[in-house]
Amino acid sequence: MSSPLKVGAVVITMGNRPDDLRALIDSVAKQEGDPVEVVVVGQGTPVTGVPEGVRTVDLPENIGIPAGRNVGIEAFGPGGTDVDVLLFLDDDGLLAHADTAELVRQAFTADPRLGIISFRIADPETGATQRRHVPRLRASDPMRSSRVTTFLGGANAVRTKVFAEVGALPGEFFYAHEETDLAWRALDADWMIDYRSDMVLLHPTTAPSRHASYHFNVARNRVWLARRNLPAPLVPVYLGVWLLLTLARRPSLSALKAWFGGFREGWTTPCGPRRPMRWRTVWRLTRLGRPPVV
């Protein structure tokens, strides 16, 4: 029999939630099966107060969510290759069940083309899952697991072979849409992505707009996402649809101003390497319920 998949975990922190971080690490330590090694990356802050055996990386400044997670990946060897699977967990989250790591191992072992698993995020008080935390258009039933086209950045598991094949997260994004960028590249390389409702990260209900740069980054990174990954004819369609959706949501004047500032910067600044997905992948995304125009 083959040995069980080796699992590691990457957590990034700004040092402002030490009690939550400790609780998360404790929930990882309680996982059944082989121990899950944890690396905590401090974004512009030294990591303190973590249990013995937890590795830490202290960065001199906050380099953003995707770049910080990339540092955590490299802490497990080039491209994370010292392990088979990496969990990415928000520092104010908590694994709800002790069998999550074992479920992850079973899922990846059973399906060699499964590359990414998106966990369900639930509020610790109410148990509710926000609609935006279900990574598909038909999100009314968060308890339904399914194949999907993207994943949740702070509650997921990625097979490290995916990084070896398609590269790491786009560090220049800093925050917003970095998961979809990786997901599209993985799908174009014929990997699969699953949303699993039975793999649960408890996380307080929050609004994404709590981040000061939210509207700017969302717009800029969406343009970068399209420029990097979509076939040329779909770029204006995708961005036009999202422009209309943004206006339909009637954001405040300040939010709209920030959004258009980010949209403009997305067109006028380098977006990184362009590798447009195959039309076969466009059709695959469409069959999975989310064509890359929305």
Domain residue ranges in the chain = 7-202, 212-274+282-288
Could you tell me how many residues make up the chain? Answer: 294
CATH of domain 7-202: 3.90.550.10
pTM of the model: 0.96
Residues 86, 8: Cα–Cα separation, whole Å: 5
Nearest to 166, CA basis, from 147, 199, 194, 193: 193
Q: What is the pLDDT along the chain (294 residues), one digit of tens a residue?
A: 578 999 999 999 999 999 999 999 999 999 999 999 999 999 999 999 999 999 999 999 999 999 999 999 999 999 999 999 999 999 999 999 999 999 999 999 999 999 999 999 999 999 999 999 999 999 999 999 999 999 999 999 999 999 999 999 999 999 999 999 999 999 999 999 999 999 999 999 877 655 558 999 999 999 999 999 999 999 999 999 999 999 999 999 999 999 999 999 999 999 999 999 999 999 999 999 999 998
The per-residue pLDDT for 37 is 98
Q: What is the pLDDT of residues 4-31, one digit of tens each?
A: 999 999 999 999 999 999 999 999 999 9
Two structure tokens written together for 6: 């080796």
Two structure tokens written together for 186: 């993985």
The per-residue pLDDT for 50 is 96
Q: H or E segment at 41?
A: strand 37-42
